[in-house]
């Protein structure tokens, strides 16, 4: 793995080099679109019908890229005449359409086979089983009854997850084969050995088969595996183990064949052992790009798009030694009160967003969509950041009243 790229030319930085380019971006949200606006060349955004408006002056085309046959026809009719240089996406449901459009047009993009290997979790497990088995937990396809029985006999308990799931939805810890629901014994479910240790997210940028780690965040999760915090740099990972994690991510990316573009990989680390949980050909969500920029100065959203047209990785002075995102949660019920943004004893609140008001329903925390808001914190160091996260997590920002029994 290579050191992160800094300002100015650097032979180690992934880039292709071009001006006067036409970059097509599939499914950008307003934040990604703003980051893209500083890239050289022309930008063309392809948005879903009814998607949030982008800044005025931005060229926007509308198409349902989730309908692949219709989108490929749109690619021929609307995108081909624009003679694009590259087609990319940073949104999960735009990754495959962007890759297929780039392949169809013969322009720069991520290999569709690589995107498929990251979006199909069983396919990724089978690739690692062949190429880097030490990065895999034991696993079984849900419709392979004998393999499922062997997995539980060997491991006792396992994680059940959708093969194509996103947003921490429908992930469950199953304590024994007798507890496996019938609706999980299908090809849509993957069972994996429960991996011990702490979980981390790794942001990387690849160029010509060389993989550069941009940042590593330590993840906090609720009992149901929903992510409730990210801290960067990772407090529990010393420099030696950071290098071990970087090496493991490089092996993973080599195994699946990713040579160019961004990646977001989730790993579990137990001592010196690193197990891959999943990977994606995009940057991480949950404000991780903001943590990268705050702690390293790298404009990660811009870099995760600009690689395809050879734009340099832009890096400014880091604003903080450590930073974190913290997600607000509350017990199920109706929102009774929402506290104002607090002042913290250690660290400070860089950004604050609460998505509920009194009277709103709070559902059980089963996926990322059930979270109630997010804060971005900065601190003078990792210890102060840990303390700030703990302080905010302990505060009842959103309080609820139980639903009355009818």
Lowest mean per-residue pLDDT among 87-91, 143-147, 228-232, 402-406 = 402-406
What's the predicted TM-score (pTM) here?
Answer: 0.90
Residue-range domain boundaries for the chain: 22-107, 138-193, 198-401
Sheet strands (E) in 172-304 = 172-174, 189-193, 198-207, 210-221, 227-232, 261-270, 273-280
**Mean pLDDT value of segment 191-211:** 95
Q: Is 5's pLDDT higher than 90?
A: no
With cut-offs at 50, 70 and 90, classify the pLDDT of residue 167: low
**Mean pLDDT value of segment 51-63:** 88
Structure tokens of 26?
A: 């599939």
**Residue 183, φ and ψ in degrees, nearest 5:** -75, -5
pLDDT of residue 366: 86
pLDDT of residue 110: 98
pLDDT tens figures, 368-400: 889 999 999 999 999 999 999 999 999 999 999
pLDDT of residue 178: 85
Q: Is 16's pLDDT higher than 60?
A: no
Fold of 138-193: Dna Ligase; domain 1 (3.30.1490)
pLDDT of residue 264: 98
pLDDT of residue 97: 98
The average confidence (pLDDT) of the chain is: 91
* The CATH number, out of the four listed (2.40.10.340, 3.90.320.10, 3.40.50.20, 3.30.70.580), of the domain defined by the range 22-107: 3.40.50.20
Q: Is 126's pLDDT higher than 70?
A: yes
213 burial via Cβ count (<10 Å: 0-12, 13-18, 19+): buried
Count of helix runs (H) and strand runs (E) in the chain: 10, 19
What CATH number was assigned to the domain covering residues 198-401? 3.30.470.20
């Amino acid at each position: 793995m290579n050191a992160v790229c800094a300002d100015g030319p650097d032979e180690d930085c992934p880039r292709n080099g071009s001006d006067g380019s036409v970059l097509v971006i599939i499914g950008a949200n307003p934040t990604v679109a703003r980051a893209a606006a500083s890239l050289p060349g022309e930008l063309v955004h392809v948005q879903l019908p009814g998607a949030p408006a982008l800044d005025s002056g931005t060229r926007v085309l509308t198409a349902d890229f989730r309908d692949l046959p219709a989108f490929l026809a749109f690619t021929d009719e609307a995108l081909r005449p624009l003679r694009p240089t590259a087609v990319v996406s940073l949104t999960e449901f735009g990754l495959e359409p962007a890759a297929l459009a780039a392949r169809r047009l013969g322009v720069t993009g991520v290999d569709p086979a690589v995107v498929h290997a990251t979006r199909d979790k069983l396919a990724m497990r089978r690739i690692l089983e062949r190429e880097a088995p030490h990065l895999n937990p034991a696993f079984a396809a849900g419709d392979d009854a004998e393999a499922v029985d062997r997995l539980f006999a060997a491991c006792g308990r396992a994680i059940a997850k959708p093969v194509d799931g996103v947003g921490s939805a429908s992930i469950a810890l199953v304590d024994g084969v007798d507890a496996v629901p019938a609706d999980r014994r299908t090809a849509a479910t993957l069972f994996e050995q429960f991996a011990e240790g702490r979980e981390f997210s790794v942001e990387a940028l690849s160029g010509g088969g060389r993989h550069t780690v941009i940042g590593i965040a330590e993840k906090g999760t609720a009992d149901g595996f929903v992510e409730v915090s990210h801290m960067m740099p990772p407090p529990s990972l010393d420099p030696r183990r950071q290098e071990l994690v970087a090496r493991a991510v490089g092996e993973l990316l080599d195994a699946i064949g990713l040579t160019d573009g961004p990646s977001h990989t989730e790993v579990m680390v137990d001592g010196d052992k690193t197990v891959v949980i999943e990977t994606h050909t995009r940057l991480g969500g949950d404000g991780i790009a903001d943590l990268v920029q705050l702690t390293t100065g790298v404009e990660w959203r811009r870099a995760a798009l600009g690689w395809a047209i050879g734009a340099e990785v832009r890096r400014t002075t880091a604003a903080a030694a450590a930073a974190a995102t913290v997600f607000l949660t509350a017990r199920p019920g109706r929102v009774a009160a929402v506290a104002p943004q607090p002042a913290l004893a250690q660290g400070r609140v860089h950004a604050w967003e609460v998505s509920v008001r009194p009277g709103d329903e709070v559902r059980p925390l089963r996926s990322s969509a059930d979270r109630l808001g997010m804060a971005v914190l900065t601190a003078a160091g990792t210890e102060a950041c840990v303390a700030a996260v703990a302080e905010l997590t302990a505060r009842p920002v959103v309080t609820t009243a139980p639903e009355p029994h009818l």
